Each structure stands twice: as structure tokens, then as C-alpha cells.
Structure 1
Amino acid sequence: MTTRFPRSLPLRLAVALTLALVSPLSRTGSTLHAQNAPVVTRDSVVARLGDLRRIHTPDGIELLEAVAIEGTTQWVSVRGKHKSNPVIVMIHGGPGTPMMPLTWAYQSPWEDFFTVVNYDQRGVGKNAVAANRDALAPTLTFDQLVRDAEAIVTWARSRLGVERVVVMGYSYGTMIGMSVAQRHPEWLHAYVGVGQVSGSGDDYLYTRLRELAQAAGQRDALRELDSIAPYPRPGAPVSTVLLTRKWARYFNGGWYGKPTFDLLFAMPSWAPEYTNADVAAQTAATQWTTRTLVGRGGSMLPDSLAVPVVVIQGRHDLHTPYEPARAYIERMRAPSKSFVTLEWSAPVPMLEEPGRFLQQLLNVVRPLTGAAQ
């Protein structure tokens, strides 16, 4: 699961990276200038990204609005080129790490073939700035997150005029998505898991990390991993999870080919859906959400679902490890099952292999909706 706390990319660096693509830079005080060009700010960069992604088709849909759910406001994005396309409702993971501010980097091709709904869960993302944490804290449980997801699916079905949707769970969100599928199969065309949680992933992860560290002669890794043994264990602090994920990334089990998630954690700074205040609030919101949820339990993963199941998993995934996820899906009972392996991905395959990920959405998922090919 993606549990590391994100750190937003400083705005100056974001501007510098953008301008470096088009012209030389000079620095005057604390402001970056392109030679003979106006100053470029974060607002202008994200405005251009927003304009690039604008839905222009006459029967398309592009919404960004707040939805009232059980005493909270939860922001929802709906995007698609054609309203007749099947609907995907994405349930993000973390816990507390929204996908909405990452969608600018990978989702546009999906929108030719699906209407895609993303929402920020209670207290995080665009909800964080106005959140009352004292009031929110008692409600922040796994069961409540499932009820929130049910409310979002109900809202999407009504708002978009469809009987069924595809529920796509990502990482921690796979547990929420499976709970929705188990409780309301009549709402779903299919359940899709990305970075599928298996229930035995952390046991596998610890053993695998020690094997990789020994093979590489990485003494620092062995020392740090030994310091948290036995792992996993009930009541262990969040820091033990963060430590294993740090070494998972080092050994190519995060973003394949990148030893850290720094780029992933930087991407919300460029999200057209987010204001400066949203970006600034997100790090603390994710930290608070994770600390609050720890120890409050979750849900037993189901042995069967009454809807088709598709899992798209990166071969190198160590955050939600590949091997236990594959074994879990092999045991599961469902009307149909597809376990899709992306060979050069870890836990973020939509960014690591975006073309192949889209290919699976078209070849495996879309036919389950009855949509014309």
C-alpha cells in the first residue's frame, strides 16, 4: 500500500522544470524569468494543463463539484468525452492519498472510452482545507470509508443516469472496492483491482526484502529490517510500514526504475483540480488520516464476489506484492476472473506503463460493460 507521506514539489522547482523545456532561465531575486518572456507561475502552468485536458466534445462531461456525504463534503471529478461510455468509479488508496491530483498525467486517454469518476475521501485532498478534524476523527473508520464509497457510487449512478458502473480500487482502496462489490453486486459491471491487497502481502514483503538485501549486500537495509523484527506485528507503529516501503522502492518495488516516490509525491503540485491551498494542506491531511486509521481495523477480504473480477498488477510490485495478490485471486470465486500482469510496472502501472494499462482497460474491462467495441 502507498503509505508514505507525500511532500509537494516546491513551486519554484515546478516552474523551473517547466521553463527548462522551452527556454533558458535567469534568476532575479526569488523569481524565475524566461529570457524575453513573462514570468511563469504555478497558476499559469496548471491553467495550461487544464486547457490541454478540456473536454470539448458536445456530448462530453467535465465536472468538479462537492458532494455532501454523511456530514462531510467530498469533492468529486467526473470526466469523459462521451456520456454514452461506461463509467469507472476510482477508489483511491493510501490511506488518505488521493488519485485526483495525479490524473492529469495518465487519465486523458481513458476518457475517450470511459467516463471516469474520482473522489477525494473524507478529510483529504480538496476536502482538507475546510475539514474539521475534531468532528471528523471519530468517523474515520474503514466501515465509514466503505459507506462513503457506496454513497459516491449511488451519486454517480444517479448523476450519470446509469444502472451499473465499474468500481476500480487502488491499493488500500482495493479493500474498500471489494466491500462495495460484495455488498452491492447489482450496482457493478465488474470490480477492477490495481495494486491489489492480498491479506498476506506484508509477511511476503518482509521476507522478500531481506532476500533482496542479502543478495545485494545491502547492509543498511538488513540492519534496518532487523530492527523492526518481527514484522508485521499487531500494534506496530506506522514507522515500520514506512521503513519496509522505503526499501521496497529501493529494490524497484515502487515506481519501477525509480528508487523513491519523490516524483509521484510532486505531481499534485501540477494538478489543475487543486488550488495552492489544496496542495499545501494535503501532506498534513494524509499524515493525520493514516495515524487516525491505524489500529481501527479493516475488513476481511472476501473469498468470493458475485461480479466479474479483473486485477491489473505490476510484476515488480512490492508495496502490494505481486505474488500474494496473484495467489489470492487464483483462490477467489467469481463469475469470471482475469489477472493481468504488466511486466515493467510496480504499484503505479497507470503511470509506469500507461499504454499497456489502457490496452487492458479496452480489451479486458470494457467488454464486461456491454459497450460496443
Structure 2
Amino acid sequence: MSTSVIENVQINNTELYFSISKNQKNKPIILYLHGGPGDSCIPLTKKFNAELENTFTFVNLEQRGSGLSYYRFSETEDLTMKVILDDIYEFVLYLLKRLNQRKLVVMGHSWGSVLGMLFIQAHPELISQYIGIGQVINMKKTIEAQKDFLTSQNKVNHKISRLDFDRNPEYASVTLTKKIVSNGGSIYGAKNYRKLILPFIFSKDYSLTDLIHRLQGSKQSIQFFWKDLMNINFENKLNYEVPILFCEGRNDFHVTSKLVSEYAEKITSPCRIMWFENSGHFPQWEEASKFNCDITKFLNNEHK
């Protein structure tokens, strides 16, 4: 059972909420960056990843405008991916100073894996290890792979074929992703997100208002950040100053693990893949016990 608590801190004139392990003494820090954009997930990491708190100070940051950190975005704000990365930078400095450490582990999932890869390029001196889950490598190729998956399932219909990614990329991508989920390409062996929804409903950390804010935060984050996300392509970056571990579900067709496998083979700096045979896009929650155990062993070896 998780013993983490909810706290908040003022970062770049914005109140950001996060969960943090209660027992923090002399433990390496893991900073978890959630997916989306806007898919805050404190109830999920508290339910499925509590074991990591035994060995690490596990921190889950709810990004600006998301979940407990929700506020209504304004068109007058210059909101780009850089703003989120600036928040993460200041938050990392805050954590390291507070816990009297020099470096931490960044763990990013999906959209968070994009933030993570960009962050370790910008600030390698602050990071001891990067862990990418459901890693995004090239978003345009990811979209094409989603279409290929649906074609292979004989599920491409008139609506999908007419999706306009030029005029309305957010709507088109969300619609396509919903099809991936309903055809079992997101969570292995399931065609809905029920497993990932129930922890929010029963969470003591999320009120009814917070649940509504989470939905609103997800919607506005997609609206404001999707354009930046669609331009992501790491394929030409093959050397990093930070060691990389990719955690991939063998059955991930949401953000295809095939691209990650191909990319990892080309990286010239330290890089490994940890495969989860019975997972799709969410191995940290689909195979939580294996994930927690394997990550703990891996990081303990790295920190020796």
C-alpha cells in the first residue's frame, strides 16, 4: 500500500501538485512524468507502483493544467511544450535541493516520455538515469502505425479513412486512438480503459471536482500541446549523455514498440530495452509487480 502524500509547490507562478513517498531518507529519487498530454495519474501510481516507495523516493508530478494542478488555460498564455519543460526543470531543482541530492531518475510515460527525452538532452547534469515507458520516437510514424494496426484488424472504416489530420489533428488523433483502444491495441487483452478508470473513482486523493478537472485538463492539454507533440522525431538523435532504459509492452500498438526497438539498436550511448510480454502501452500498470521488481533490481545495480 502506498504511503505517499499529496503536496504542492509554486513553480513558475503556477501551483503544481505532486505525490511523494513519506519515507524519503537517503533514497534515490524517481520523478514520474505522466502521459497525455494532460493524463495525470497519481491514483494509478499509488495503486500499482507503491512497491517502488520501499527503495526510492517516488514523486509523481501532475503537470500544469492537469488533474490536481488544473486551472483553465487562457488563449493569452503562450503555452508550448517548452513551458512544461521549464516547469519540470524548476521542479527538479526544488526536489534536489529539498532532498539534498545531486541527481535523480526521470521516468516518463508516453507524452511524458517525450518530455523526458527532451529534458535529458537539455539538463543531463541533473539526471542519473532515464526510463522511457511506451516511448514516443516519431509521432507521424506512430500515427501511420496505428492506421496499419487497424488495417491488420480489418477495422478501418469510412470514418477513419476520412479523418483530416491537416485541418483537425487533435480530433483525428484522439478518434484514431479510441479505435486502437477498442480493438485491443492499447491494453493487452482488454478493449477499454476500465482497469485504469476505477482507481480514480475510488481514490481518496481525487474529489468529484478533481475528477471533472482531470477530464477538463486532458481536453485542454491536447488542444494546446498536440501540435508540438506531432512534430516530435528523435530518430536523428543517437547519442545521449544519460543512460537510457526503455520499458516496452510487446503488444503496444498505441505507440508502437516496434519503432522503439529499431531506434534503440541505433543508439550509440548506453541503452537497453526491458520487454513486457503481456502488456500493451501501460506495462507499469498492466504488469505492475514485474515492472516494480525489475525496475528496482535494475536501478539498484546502476546505483552500486
TM-score, normalised by the number of residues in structure 2:
0.91
Is 1:198 the counterpart of 2:137 in the alignment?
Answer: yes
CA deviation map 1:7-49 (0-9, x unaligned): xxxxxxxxxxxxxxxxxxxxxxxxxxxxxxxxxxxxxxxxxxx
Q: 2:189 aligns with which of 244, 254, 257?
A: 257
Unaligned segments of structure 1, at least 5 residues: 1-51, 55-61
CA shift, 1:82, in A, is: 5.1
SS in 1 for 2:31: strand
Q: What is the Cα deviation at residue 262 of structure 1?
A: 3.3
Map of 1:209-288 to 2, 5 A cutoff?
A: 209-213=150-154, 218=155, 221-228=156-163, 233-288=165-220
Judging changes above 3 Å, is the alpha-carbon distance between structure 1 residues 236 and 325 closer, same or farther for their aligned structure 2 residues? farther
Sequence identity of aligned pairs in percent? 24
Partner amino acid, structure 1, of 2:78: T
Distance 1:304 1:175 in 2: 16
SS at match of 2:201: helix
Q: What amino acid is the match of 1:207?
A: D
Deviation at 1:97, TM superposition (A): 0.6
1:53, distance to aligned residue in structure 2 (A)? 3.4
Amino acid at match of 1:96: G
| CA drift at 1:283 | 0.9
Residue correspondences, number: 299
Specify the alignment match of 2:148 in structure 1. 207
Deviation at 1:368, TM superposition (A): 1.9
Please state how far the C-alpha of 1:208 moved relative to its aligned partner. Answer: 2.4
**Structure-2 residue corresponding to 1:184:** 123
Deviation at 1:292, TM superposition (A): 2.0
Q: 1:331 to 1:80 in 2, by over 3 A?
A: farther
Match of 1:256, as an amino acid?
Answer: Y
Deviation at residue 296 of structure 1 after TM alignment: 4.5
* Greater Cα radius of gyration, structure 1 or 2: 1
SS at match of 1:238: helix
Matched, 1:307 2:242: yes
Q: Deviations over 1:272-317 (max 9, x none)?
A: 3223321222111211121122335655423321111000000111
Aligned twin of 1:85: 27
Counterpart-to-counterpart distance in 2, 1:360 and 1:53: 18
Deviation at 1:132, TM superposition (A): 4.5
* Residue 164 of structure 1: aligned partner: 103
Cα drift, residue 234 of structure 1? 4.0
Provide the residue aligned with 1:351 in structure 2: 285
**Aligned-pair distance for 1:224?**
3.2
User: Are 2:74 and 1:134 aligned?
Assistant: yes
Cα pair 1:190 1:308 within 8 Å, conserved:
yes
Distance 1:78 1:279 in 2: 20
Deviations 1:290-345 (A, max 9, x none): 112233565542332111100000011111111011112222232x1111110000
CA distance in 2, matches of 1:272, 1:140: 31
Matched, 1:144 2:86: no
The one of 250, 253, 259 equivalent to 1:324 is 259
User: What runs of 5+ residues in structure 2 fail to find an aligned partner?
Assistant: none
